[in-house]
Amino acid sequence: MIAPMRKYSFLIYHQEYNRFLEDIRELGVVDIVEKENRLDEETIQKLDQLKQINKAIDFLKRRNVEAGKPDEETGGIKVMEDVLSRRNQLENLEQKINTLKKEIHHVAPWGDFSWDTIEKLKKAGLTLRFFVVSEKKFNPEWKKQYNAGIISIDQSKAHFIVIQEGDEPIDIEAGEVKPPRRSLSAVNREKKQAEEQRDKINRELDKYAATAIPALQKAAKKTGQEAEYNKVLINTIEEAEGKVKVLEGFVPVDKRKPLDTYLEKKKILFITRKPFPEESPPIELKNGRFARLFEPIAKLFAMPSYRELDLTPLFAPFFMLFFGFCLGDAGYGLLFIIVGFIVKPRLKPKMKPIVTLVQFLGLGTLIFGVLTGTFFGMDLLQKDLPVLESVKSFMLNSEQSFYLALIIGAFQILFGIGVHAVNRFRRYGFLYALPQIGWLMLLPGLGIYFGLDGLELPGTIMMSAGIALILFWSDPKANFLSRIGVGLWDLYNITGIFGDVLSYIRLFALGVSSAILGFVINDISMSINQGLPYAGPVLMVIFLVIGHTANIFISSLGAFVHPMRLTFVEFYKNAGFSGGGKEYKPFKTKLK
């Protein structure tokens, strides 16, 4: 659900304003209303500086250096400048070393030579020309005919030079190349210097990574606070020739008490009220323990607007089941659950909800793995095991799984239309919910009419009532003829609903592909075991572990992405999700 908000307007005497801002920042509950879209130059610089500091922190953390004693003398801004400067130097050196390696590859076949000698020969009227030809095509007669000498043979290519008087062209069936601009020893020397400089910079960066991250984090916090403070000042209104400062912000209802206590204690004048319909308060999601796990997924798409329903708790069970349908292997699901219990106690608190989410997705996988009779790529329906005889009747074959995907899809879409009806009823009134109620009658009516013998009359009544509600109430504000026009257009969209239902076939397809890959892995493993009498069992186990690990990774990726698509496209669309909400971010001391 979306936490209800109250809007506060504070009126503060200008001499007390800075103290007031410090106090509400300590309370950390007021989300300041932004009235100005443009930031001043100082705030832009602060935000850019914060971005650079965070870049330096991320860069140092990626070096995976064990933390040492923090450096408390060097300031974070100086560290940031040094780190980013050295990072740029390091990148340039890496590019230079790669270029030198290519040059060495080009120069090496010609060996180490002296340009001074070449210049002396040139002054004596002799010219050195460089040629490359296939080793097989090199003609030994060229040695006498053209005074040619092979320098090296590299990768079946003969690198040779010709010493001639003057610079007249010669007729030789070989490719002439430009002479190296410097000797091999000179290139190697420069490469060694670059590598030594690179290693020195790496040692300096490792030292920073071990000791300077706390200073950078402290600087990031301070800079971020200064930027936020400036943004608050920008959004402050001045009245009475600057003597009175006016600031507005939103506060969740359940966080009002400490703020109200502070305002009464300091005798600060304020006004509080419910948000007006045209206002867009920030969004704070308040869900139960289960639905809260899926909030990061919901935020990947968009935050809901303040006056619509939060769809997170409504799509969460579906998402868990869809993931299970796509992965569809009881062994994989059981593995997720067990590994989650093993690693969770060793993780930081902020990581534990992610592992818990993975365990719930594993539970969905376990459920559908049991339903489809798949366990680590084994088809349990084909196994003649006495312990399974009592549950085989509950397992689904491929055809039944196909129809189950369509049934689940139809149910979620109908559920989404129902959510849309509730949302419109809450926001606009009963008349505006009638078109969605019409769809809830029309679509099941079609199913009853064509799918159930003997119930044609109830199906016809439901379809007729649904069509009437859609036709005449799709736009309650319009006149009669306009309503019919809008209603006819809405009825045409029934083709889109059928298309949405068919989209859920992807659940079945991904589940089948995951099961087939698991089966293939097992089949190859058995072949390895049978084909190699002694090493077979060991190689079989290795292949099983690697194969199923790869299958889990690949299939889990699809099992996460495609349910997300079904949620954000099919379900959100039919639920009438508008989105566009701004996440609740209070003005506070501790930055996220």
User: Residue 248 sits in a domain of what CATH number?
Assistant: 3.30.70.120
pLDDT at 113 over 60: yes
Residues 405 and 546 in one domain: yes
Give the pLDDT confidence score for residue 284 in this predicted structure. 92
Residues 412 and 483 in one domain: yes
Alpha carbon distance 230, 39 (integer Å): 9
- Would you say 504 and 566 are in contact if contact means Cβ atoms under 8 Å apart? yes
List of residues 6+ apart from 212 with CB closer than 8 A: 60, 70, 71, 74, 76, 79, 83
List of residues 6+ apart from 41 with CB closer than 8 A: none
Give the model confidence (pLDDT) of 42-78 as tens digits.
888 888 988 999 999 898 888 887 777 777 667 888 8
List of residues 6+ apart from 92 with CB closer than 8 A: none
Give the model confidence (pLDDT) of 194-243 as tens digits.
999 999 999 989 888 888 888 888 888 888 888 888 888 888 888 887 88
How many domains are there within the chain?
4
Give the model confidence (pLDDT) of 503-519 as tens digits.
999 888 988 888 889 88
More confident residue, 484 or 93: 93
pLDDT at 390 over 70: no
> How many CA atoms lie within 13 Å of 61's alpha carbon, on the beta-carbon side?
10
Residue that the structure tokens 């992965």 belong to: 327
* The two structure tokens encoding residue 418: 């129902």
Residue type, 166: G
Of 263, 284, 305, the one marking the end of a domain is 284
| Residue range 5-31: mean pLDDT, rounded | 90
Is the residue at 152 inside a domain? yes
Listed residue (501, 503, 540, 555) closest to 374, CA to CA: 555
Residues 28 and 141 in one domain: no
pLDDT at 270 over 80: yes
Give the model confidence (pLDDT) of 156-177 as tens digits.
889 898 888 877 878 888 888 8
Listed residue (89, 127, 246, 111) closest to 184, CA to CA: 111
pLDDT at 590 over 60: no
Alpha carbon distance 79, 588 (integer Å): 26
* The two structure tokens encoding residue 475: 């736009």
Residues 373 and 518 in one domain: yes
Alpha carbon distance 591, 149 (integer Å): 72
Is the residue at 523 inside a domain? yes
Residues 418 and 548 in one domain: yes
pLDDT at 592 over 50: no
Q: Could you list the residue range(s) of the whole structural domain that residue 124 is in?
A: 113-182
Residues 8 and 140 in one domain: no
Residue type, 61: K
Of 220, 252, 284, the one marking the end of a domain is 284
- Highest mean pLDDT among 146-150, 288-292, 422-426, 427-431 belongs to 288-292
Residues 65 and 196 in one domain: yes
Alpha carbon distance 212, 150 (integer Å): 57
Give the pLDDT confidence score for residue 399 in this predicted structure. 86
Residue 591's pLDDT band (boundaries 50, 70, 90)? very low
Is the residue at 581 inside a domain? no
SS3 sequence of 510-523: HHHHHHHHHHHHHH
Give the model confidence (pLDDT) of 443-456 as tens digits.
888 888 787 777 87
pLDDT at 142 over 50: yes
Q: What is the DSSP letter of 415?
A: H
Listed residue (302, 281, 284, 301) closest to 292, CA to CA: 284
* The two structure tokens encoding residue 552: 């889990």
Give the pLDDT confidence score for residue 6 in this predicted structure. 94
Residues 88 and 178 in one domain: no
- Highest mean pLDDT among 234-248, 260-274, 373-387 belongs to 260-274
- Would you say 485 and 341 are in contact if contact means Cβ atoms under 8 Å apart? no
- Would you say 323 and 559 are in contact if contact means Cβ atoms under 8 Å apart? yes
Q: Cα-Cα-Cα-Cα dihedral of 507, 510, 515, 517, to 10°?
A: 180
Is the residue at 583 inside a domain? no
Alpha carbon distance 149, 128 (integer Å): 11
Alpha carbon distance 263, 314 (integer Å): 38
Of 251, 266, 284, the one marking the end of a domain is 284
Residues 166 and 62 in one domain: no
Is the residue at 389 inside a domain? no
Residues 263 and 343 in one domain: no
Is the residue at 121 inside a domain? yes
Is the residue at 580 inside a domain? no
| Residue range 536-555: mean pLDDT, rounded | 90
Q: Are strands 374-375 and 31-32 parallel, antiparallel or unpaired?
A: unpaired
pLDDT at 533 over 60: yes
Residues 165 and 293 in one domain: no
What share of the chain has pLDDT > 70, as a percent? Answer: 97
Residues 146 and 211 in one domain: no
Is the residue at 241 inside a domain? yes
3-state secondary structure of 385: coil
Give the pLDDT confidence score for residue 75 in this predicted structure. 81
